A and B are shown apart, each in its own frame.
Chain A
Amino acid sequence: MFMKKKIALFSRTKALEAEIEEFLGKLSQSALTFQTAISVYLQHGANGEFQGMVQKLAELESRDDALRRSIEAQLYRQTLIPESRGDVLGLLETLDKVHGLMEGGLYALSIEKPVIPESLVPHFQDLTTAAVSAVDHLVLASRAFFTNIDDVSDHLREVMRYEKDADKITTELKRTLFESELDLSGKLHLKSFVEYIDDVADGAEDVADRLGIYTIKRAI
């Protein structure tokens, strides 16, 4: 009976591991969708393909919300990882916020449909690539936090690097934008979109900072 109970415990653990992996996988998928959607918007505007991607990211975010709630409930109900439970919940919640930032950015594009001058398109693309790369490495760092703690810091360094890149591109993009011939309302409108994308990189950095602390706490 004791062994049966233990086997049951491991099977429950396995199911929960799969949910955490799905949560991270969905976030990674969302980052890719975010990048592709912005690329489509920059080239073709808010067409059907773009709207489909906005919808897809919303569905991914919604599924991640459900997964997060399920994981949190199971961690508490089964009193699992008492030492790291708070940290894991904090990590999932802040990762979900990054997810929300990407979703919010795409919704804003879909609703406000800003006109982006051709000359700024490469800058927007570079900024999106840097922000998405930061999120990708954040997902890798989070996965390593669960399975291979020694690799976390390498991925966190990458998150910081891409966030710094995003900051540089943001500054350059804003400078170019405000030196352009656009009227002030157009400049301010586009500025808010630069910030939407940069916020994703900043959000990834905030989670990375927390994850760095959680990793130190998990040292045996």
Chain B
Amino acid sequence: MDVIVLLLLTGGLFLGWSLGANDAANVFGTAVGTRMVSFTKAAAICSVFVVLGAVISGAGASDTLGKLGAIDSLSASCVAAVAAATTVYMMTRLGLPVSTSQAIVGAIIGWNLYSGSPTDLSVVFKIIGTWVACPILAGLVAVVLFKITVPSIKLARLHLLRLDALTRLALIIAGAFGAYSLGANNIANVMGVFVSANPFTAVKVAGLVSLSGVELLFLLGGLAIALGVFTYSKKVMLTVGAGLMPLSPVAAWIVVMAHSIVLFLFASQGLESFLAGSGLPTIPLVPVSSSQAVIGAMLGLGVLKGGGGVNLSVLAKIASGWVTTPIIACSVCFATLSVL
């Protein structure tokens, strides 16, 4: 492959790396932080399933980003990705809540403004609606899971040690599902802007598996996420496990499952076609914030326990991120394209 092409993909690959470094903690943070699962095992499972999710189920959310704005040159795609990455970096440095999903949407709108392409407002509202729905839905799913899981555990009268062993297994399975959902939903953030200007063509691996150009693009993005998981996520996982989530292992499993289910819902083309085929309203396939899904699930459990642990300022910060992140990313992208 042309070195220039690879260089132009670096913006997306960097986003992928930072996604792996940060968001792997949402699926394996508690398990690793509480030493229920070793980091090496968690990183290996997470990497494999992130790549699988990206390649197998990553197209849905990417299509929605494509409807928002199709960036048709590789260099402009690179600028959009770098603008999103810069926004994420700047806001993280300033201690502001930020989501890669929201940054990339802002960057695409910035491209639309620069290139004079129309921005479909119905798609914008659909995306924003999804961001709002994501933590709420995660909270609701967490409540339902809690209501099912806790009585079931009590009914089963499991010995503490057996419950511990089963919880470990459940955390690994939930982590694998979470990693798959993360790859499926968030690969759009990493490689979505490159789809219209995709430099890859279809290949057949070992004469057995056919990969389309887009799947190859997503495979590369998935590998970047996996690299982020292996090189930098341990520190974040230990912080999340020991600090932000003072949850019991079972509650942690509920949070990871709620997060994974919500991300999967917003990524699954199979579910979308099933709902459409059954005449039911479909769930929009949009990249959503993995961290906000986790926070939503935790808040759901907090409300269920009487609301004592619910911090309203956290909610306000999340809501402010829905507005500020896309605006900043849009401005950075527009300004960069104008200068270049």
B-contacting residues of A (Cβ < 8 Å)? 6, 9-10, 13-14, 16-17, 20, 79-84, 88, 145-150, 218-220
Partner of B160, one of A9, A82, A145, A150: A145
**When A81-B164, A82-B35, A82-B36 are in contact, do A147 and B169 touch as well, CB less than 8 Å?**
no
Instruction: Establish whether residues B161 and A80, one from each chain, have CB atoms under 8 Å apart when the complex forms.
Output: yes
Task: From A10, A81, A219, name the one whose CB has the most chain B CB atoms within 10 angstroms.
Answer: A81
Q: Which residues of A contact B159 (CB under 8 A)?
A: 13, 17, 146-147
Give chain B residues whose Cβ lies under 8 Å from the Cβ of A9. Answer: 165, 168
Evaluate contact between A6 and B169: CB separation under 8 angstroms: yes
B86 on the A face (CB < 8 A): no
Q: How distant is B197 from chain A, measured CB to nearest CB, in Å?
A: 41
Chain A positions within 8 Å of B164 at CB level: 13, 80-81, 84
The answer to whether A82 and B34 have CB atoms under 8 Å apart is yes
> Shortest distance in angstroms between A97's beta carbon and chain B's nearest beta carbon?
21
Chain B interface SS verdict (over half) = helix
Q: Does the CB pair A147–B157 fall under 8 Å?
A: yes
Measured CB to CB, the closest approach of chain A to B33, in angstroms, equals 10
Enumerate chain B residues within 8 angstroms of A88, measured Cβ to Cβ: 160
- Inter-subunit contact A147/B249 (CB<8 Å): no
By a CB distance below 8 angstroms, the chain B residues around A10 are: 162, 165
A-B contact pairs, 28 of them (CB 8 A): A9-B165, A10-B162, A13-B159, A13-B161, A13-B165, A14-B162, A16-B161, A17-B161, A17-B162, A20-B161, A80-B161, A80-B165, A81-B160, A81-B161, A81-B164, A83-B34, A83-B248, A145-B160, A147-B157, A148-B154, A148-B157, A149-B154, A150-B154, A218-B248, A219-B248, A220-B153, A220-B250, A220-B251
The chain B residue with its CB closest to the CB of A144 is: B157
CA distance A83 to B47 in the complex (A): 26
The CA of A80 and the CA of B162, in the complex, are separated in Å by 10
- Taken together as a complex, chains A and B put the C-alpha atoms of A145 and B34 apart, in Å, by 21
B66 to chain A, nearest CB (A): 38
Closest CB in chain A relative to B40 CB, distance in Å = 14
List chain B positions with a Cβ less than 8 A from chain A.
Answer: 34-36, 146, 150, 153-154, 157-162, 164-165, 168-169, 248-251
* Majority secondary structure of chain A interface residues (helix, strand, loop or mixed): helix
- 3 cross-chain pairs, A with B, having the tightest CB-CB distances, nearest first: A81-B164, A13-B161, A146-B160
Report whether A13 and B162 are in contact in the complex, using a CB–CB cutoff of 8 Å: yes
- Give Cα A204 to B183, complex, Å: 53
- Residue from B157, B160, B168, B251 in contact with A84 in the complex, judged by beta carbons closer than 8 Å: B160
* Inter-chain contacts of B34 with A (CB < 8 A): 82-83
- On chain A, the residues within 8 Å of B157 by CB distance are 147-148
Residues in chain A near residue B150, CB distance under 8 A:
220
CA of A9 to CA of B34 in the docked complex: distance in angstroms?
Answer: 18
Tell me which residues across on chain A come within 8 A of B162, comparing CB atoms: 10, 13-14, 17
CA distance A82 to B34 in the complex (A): 7
Q: Which residues of B contact A149 (CB under 8 A)?
A: 154
Residues of B within 8 A of A150 (CB): 154
Closest chain B residue, CB of each to CB of A219: B248
* CB-based contact A147/B248 at 8 Å: no
Q: How far is the CA of A122 from the CA of B134 in the complex (A)?
A: 70
A147 touches B165 (CB 8 A): no
* A147 with B154: CB separation less than 8 A: no
CB distance from B176 to the nearest CB of A (A): 11
Closest-CB distance, B147 to chain A (whole angstroms):
12
Residues of A within 8 A of B154 (CB): 148-150
- Alpha-carbon separation in the docked complex, A220 to B251 (Å): 6
Contacts of B250 in A (CB 8 A): 220
State in angstroms the CA–CA spacing of A16 and B150 once bound together.
24
Query: With A and B bound together, what is the CA distance between A6 and B162 in angstroms?
Result: 11
Q: Is the CB of B161 within 8 A of A220?
A: no
